[in-house]
Amino acid sequence: MDATLTLLSFSPPGWGGVLLAGLLASLQVAFGGYLLGLLIGTGGAAGKLWGGPILRDLLEVYTTVVRGVPELVLILILYYAGTDAVNQVMHLLGLPSVDISGLAAGIFVIGVVQGAYATEVLRGAILAVPPGQIEAARAYGMSPLMSLRRITLPAMLPYALPGLSNLWLIATKDTALLAVVGFAELTLVTRQAAGTTKAYLTFFLAAGALYLAVTLVSNVVISMLEKRARRGMVRSGGAA
């Protein structure tokens, strides 16, 4: 027991500080990737609903490919292709090639993956808004942008929240896949710590507890948000 505590302590003989730094990196990537995904998702949903035929088909290809290929493979492709592409552009501009930080690449990768799922979630939520409300807004003389801002977006939130909160939980867990491309997030540093000290079970269980804590805290926040977004709505009783 004492040996375990020494291993997990924050000062250098222990690896607790390293684990927490890894957790911080994981959370940064998850958060950044989630925001980027929301951005892509909003644009994607708008494009799928109101875009031209070509844009719609291209978005369909994007969401289908991302949802049909394992995240692990996508992360490998995007990680190499993304850093390669940036360096090619730098080369064309006559600038020296840069070292892409793992953080930026990770956020990009997670964001692209999340974007496809967010597109579908937001599209469905926007479609779930009763058309009468949007027509009423139009009857009041609101411009399309204003009715989007005042009616469609707030009214779709309760429909979008379950999907979006699910995506956040997926984002926090998908960051673990970045371990495969060598980004020092929680899972990878855990494996390094475990490999160095040979205390495999201790470290993997500790990391699991950290991930679980993130999930549980997120769940509490999510249920508060959902309660707030659903205020004034009729509670659907029974099995829907």
Partner 1 sequence: MSEVQAPVTYVPPKARSLFEPHRLVLMAVAAGLVFCMAWFMRWDWLPRYQERLIYGVGQTLLMLFSTAIVGFLFAVPLGLAQVTGPRPLAWAARGFCTLIRGTPLLLQLWLLYYGLGSLFAQYPEIRSSFLWPYLRQAWPYGFAALMLSFAAYEGEVMRGAFAGVPKGELEAARAYGMGRFTLFRRIWLPRAVQRALPTLTGETVLQLKSTPLVATVTVVDVYAIISRVRQETYLTYEPLLLLALIYLCLTGMLVYAFKLLENRIPNRGA
> Which parts of 111-130 interact with partner 1 (CB under 8 A)?
127, 130
Stretch that binds partner 1, among 34-42, 49-57, 87-95, 149-157 (CB under 8 A): 49-57
Contacts of 234 (CB under 8 A, 6+ apart): none
x/- contact string, 194-223, with partner 1 (CB under 8 A)? xx--x-xx--xx-xx--xx--xx-------
Hey, what amino acid is at 59? L
CA–CA gap between residue 187 and residue 207 (Å, rounded): 7
In sign, the C-alpha dihedral spanning 198, 201, 207, 210 is negative
Q: Is 53 in the site for partner 1 (CB under 8 A)?
A: yes
How many of the other CB atoms lie within 10 Å of CB of 57?
12
Stretch that binds partner 1, among 36-44, 57-65, 103-111, 149-157 (CB under 8 A): 57-65
Residue selected from 81, 90, 98, 221 as contacting partner 1 according to rule CB under 8 A:
81
The CB-of-185 to partner 1 minimum distance in angstroms stands at: 10
Q: Is 131 in the site for partner 1 (CB under 8 A)?
A: yes
> Which parts of 175-194 interact with partner 1 (CB under 8 A)?
175-177, 179-180, 187, 190-191, 194
Which is nearest to 214 in space by CA: 24, 34, 38?
A: 24
Q: Is 237 in the site for partner 1 (CB under 8 A)?
A: no
Contacts of 188 (CB under 8 A, 6+ apart): 22, 178, 179, 182
CA–CA gap between residue 206 and residue 213 (Å, rounded): 11
CA–CA gap between residue 66 and residue 81 (Å, rounded): 15
> Which parts of 153-172 interact with partner 1 (CB under 8 A)?
169
CA–CA gap between residue 84 and residue 206 (Å, rounded): 36
Q: Is 141 or 238 the residue whose CB approaches partner 1 more closely?
A: 238
Residues that bind partner 1 (CB under 8 A): 53-54, 57-58, 65, 67-74, 76-77, 80-81, 84, 127, 130-132, 169, 173-177, 179-180, 187, 190-191, 194-195, 198, 200-201, 204-205, 207-208, 211-212, 215-216, 239
